[in-house]
């Protein structure tokens, strides 16, 4: 799957076509229907290379919901890290040592 998605990470339409050819050559014997599906209307799927002044990340996403979900997951990761750090600092401050399982040298002044 990573090899197939790498086709769309190309910087130009020509690079995308070359990546597709390399991917298709690798997988044609093992998964001919998948290769056929991927190759069908491929030029239509990379039409965004012709657009100027627009970010590809915005264009490539198939729906607004996907973009929103991606942003929410990113924010939740940051929030989770912040909560873990808060818990760690709170625990160290209230008990003078990190919680069990955390190997850290902490000195209280």
Residues 7 and 18: their CA atoms lie apart, in Å, by 8
| Residue-range definition of the domain harbouring residue 66 | 61-100
Tell me whether residue 106 is in a domain: no
**How many domains does the chain contain in total?**
2
Tell me whether residue 93 is in a domain: yes
Tell me whether residue 4 is in a domain: yes
Residue 12 clears pLDDT 80, i.e. is over it: yes
Tell me whether residue 108 is in a domain: no
CA distances for 101 relative to 34, 79, 88, 105, angstroms: 47, 22, 11, 12
Supply the pLDDT for residue 59: 62
Q: What are phi and psi of 27, to 5 degrees?
A: -105, -5
Confidence of residue 5 (pLDDT cuts 50, 70, 90): confident
Per-chain mean pLDDT for the chain: 77
Tell me whether residue 107 is in a domain: no
Q: Do 30 and 71 belong together in one domain?
A: no
Greater pLDDT, 12 or 59: 12
Residue 108 clears pLDDT 60, i.e. is over it: no
Q: Do 40 and 1 belong together in one domain?
A: yes
CA distances for 72 relative to 47, 69, 83, angstroms: 28, 5, 16
Greater pLDDT, 98 or 5: 5
């Amino acid at each position: 799957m990573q090899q197939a998605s790498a086709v769309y990470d190309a910087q130009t339409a020509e690079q995308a076509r070359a990546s597709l050819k390399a991917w298709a050559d690798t997988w044609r014997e093992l998964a001919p229907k998948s290769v056929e599906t991927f190759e069908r209307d491929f030029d239509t799927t990379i039409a965004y290379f012709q657009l100027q002044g627009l970010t590809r990340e915005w264009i490539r996403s198939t729906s607004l919901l996907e973009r929103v979900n991606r942003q929410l997951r990113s924010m939740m990761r940051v929030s989770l890290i912040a909560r873990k750090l808060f818990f760690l600092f709170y625990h160290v401050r209230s008990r003078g040592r990190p919680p069990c399982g955390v190997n850290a040298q902490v000195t209280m002044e």
